[in-house]
Amino acid sequence: MSNSPATDTFMFAGRPVRRMGYGAMQLAGPGVFGPPKDRDAALAVLREALAAGVNHIDTSDFYGPHVTNQLIREALHPYPDDLVIVTKLGAVRGDDGAWLSAQEPADLERGAHDNLRNLGLDVLEVVNMRIMGDVHAPAEGSIEKQVTALAELQQRGLIRHIGLSNATSTQIDEALRIVPVVCVQNHYNLVHREDDALIDKLAQQGIAYVPFFPLGGFTPIQSSGLSEIAQQIGATPMQVALAWLLHRAPNILLIPGTSSVKHLRENLAAADLNLSDEVLAELDAIGGVRDGA
Ligand SMILES: NC(=O)c1ccc[n+]([C@@H]2O[C@H](COP(=O)([O-])OP(=O)(O)OC[C@H]3O[C@@H](n4cnc5c(N)ncnc54)[C@H](OP(=O)(O)O)[C@@H]3O)[C@@H](O)[C@H]2O)c1
């Protein structure tokens, strides 16, 4: 693990992308369902992110559904050339807000068109195949059908780059035999480190690793050890959790989610936080020691 200041950019989808991005999921209503309580506040968060230099936004048409993409379009279209909007396919929402698997080729094509329409794009820059074998955690099982369908959408010009989400190492290898994979988006943070070995493997392959729930998700990380360290170095616990991720590996790109401009500014400032070897060792001890570390 490096103790130097976090590298600012990573080559992602063929261009240098700032390692601190923004995840738009929190902009939809409660339970990621329906419209936000305060639409103007949601638009303000998106505009502030871009004004602060963010050029990587993560979204999906099943956030809302449609709501998050429509907010992004309203706030930011026409998009700056350097902005990479990453979306995902593989699920739809039930009338009650349930997250339903939608992994058939026809589902994926429909989802691609929904994203194009709601984002106001001619081509989707990066699309993550969100694997739903187990909704909550990666589960083994062939993904050849889904990845082949995405590769066809890519050949037809609807998608430029392909990524995977909620994927096992075996599934990533299977996908790589079909198409180039530019990113993997899995659950990972200071206290949830199942993917440690995978992150190192992807770093060697030059593939971006984009942790979802970098702050713990719907229940942000709470740790007395983290709070103590944050107090010692004059930062907030959330900033330290994000800075730890930036120090963890050079291929990690962050997409912390927030519906608040105040939290957005706090999170973006974490990119400037330099953690010493001692602090990194203390943080490692909170979440368990990595394989080989
Ligand atoms: N591929 C997948 O399956 C998947 C799954 C989940 C998420 N994602 C993506 O990953 C992105 C990040 O995940 P996430 O948004 O669910 O979780 P997260 O970034 O770990 O945390 C978001 C939560 O932390 C709070 N928060 C954010 N900044 C804070 C701060 N500085 N201080 C205190 N609380 C703060 C937010 O509340 P406030 O709104 O009040 O700030 C929200 O409750 C999402 O936006 C989405 O794009 C992907």
Please say whether the structural domain 7-216+249-257 has been given the CATH code 3.40.50.300: no
How remote is the CA of residue 75 from the centroid of ligand 1, in Å?
Answer: 19
CB–CB of 71/44 below 8 Å?
no
Q: Which two tokens stand for residue 164?
A: 């995977």
| Interval 6-47: pLDDT, tens | 448 999 999 999 999 999 999 999 999 999 999 999 999 999
Q: Determine how β-strand 99-101 pairs with β-strand 9-12.
A: unpaired
Residue 4's pLDDT is what?
38
Give pTM, 2 decimals. 0.96
Instruction: Fill in the amino acid letter for 148.
Output: T
Which sign does the torsion angle of CA 102, 210, 37, 77 carry? negative
Residue 214 to residue 201: CA distance in whole angstroms: 19
Nearest CA to ligand 1 atom 21: 217
| Interval 152-192: pLDDT, tens | 999 999 999 999 999 999 999 999 999 999 999 999 999 99
Rounded to 5 degrees, φ, ψ at 253 are -110, 135
Instruction: Fill in the amino acid letter for 199.
Output: I
| Interval 88-124: pLDDT, tens | 999 999 999 999 999 999 999 999 999 999 999 999 9
* Residue 188 bears catalytic tag: no
Q: Determine how β-strand 91-93 pairs with β-strand 99-101.
A: antiparallel
213 lines ligand 1 (CB under 6 A): yes
29 lines ligand 1 (CB under 6 A): no
Nearest CA to ligand 1 atom 48: 212
Residue 168 to residue 172: CA distance in whole angstroms: 6
Q: Determine how β-strand 15-18 pairs with β-strand 22-23.
A: unpaired
138 lines ligand 1 (CB under 6 A): no
CB–CB of 37/75 below 8 Å?
no
How remote is the CA of residue 190 from the centroid of ligand 1, in Å?
Answer: 14
Rounded to 10 degrees, the C-alpha dihedral 55/204/2/17 comes to -10
Q: Could you say which of 22, 63, 79, 209 is catalytic?
A: 63
Instruction: State the burial class of residue 157 (Cβ atoms within 10 Å of its Cβ: 0-12, 13-18, 19+).
Output: exposed
CB–CB of 180/162 below 8 Å?
yes
